[in-house]
Structure formats: structure tokens, C-alpha cells
Amino acid sequence: MRPSTKWLAEWAGDTPRMRFQVKRGIRIGEEETLDVNLIKHTCSCNKWQLTGMPCVHAIAAIRQCRGQVSNIGATQIT
């Protein structure tokens, strides 16, 4: 199982549908939640901003878009 499949991305309610709350439930009441913005290429874990490559949380959000986002990360992978 890939690490990004362990995370559940939920749309945060913005109009362009590019902001997500990404969660992983370790135990009931001990849920870890991170914020991902696919337009700004940011995640609250800060790995995307530091490395320039989408983190597992961002990848989970991109998967939630089901291919609607074709160029996420394209500028970073050069």
C-alpha cells in the first residue's frame, strides 16, 4: 500500500475545489489532519514548500481530484 493511500482527502469547500483537509485516523479521537492547497502548492506539513515536490498529503488530494488536475507538480519536476 502506498503511503498516500492511507490518507483521506476531503474537499474544504472552496469554489475552485483546490483546497482539501487530508486526514489519517490512527485511533478514534486521535485523527491527524493537514491542510493542502493545490493552487498555492502548499501543505501544512511544509514538506511540499521545502522540497518543491508534492508530499503524500498533496498526492492524496490530487488523487481525490480524479485526474481533474493535470499540471500539479509539473513545474517542480524538471
| Full-model pTM | 0.75
Residue 28: predicted pLDDT: 64
Contact (Cβ atoms closer than 8 angstroms) between residue 42 and residue 54: no
**What is the distance between the alpha carbons of residues 48 and 30, in angstroms, rounded to a whole number?**
24
The neighbouring-strand residues paired with 36 are 20, 43
| Model confidence band, residue 76 (pLDDT cutoffs 50, 70, 90) | very low
Helix, strand, coil in percent for the chain, rounding step 5: 25, 25, 50
pLDDT in tens, 13-70: 888 889 999 998 666 667 789 999 999 999 999 999 999 999 999 999 999 887 555 5
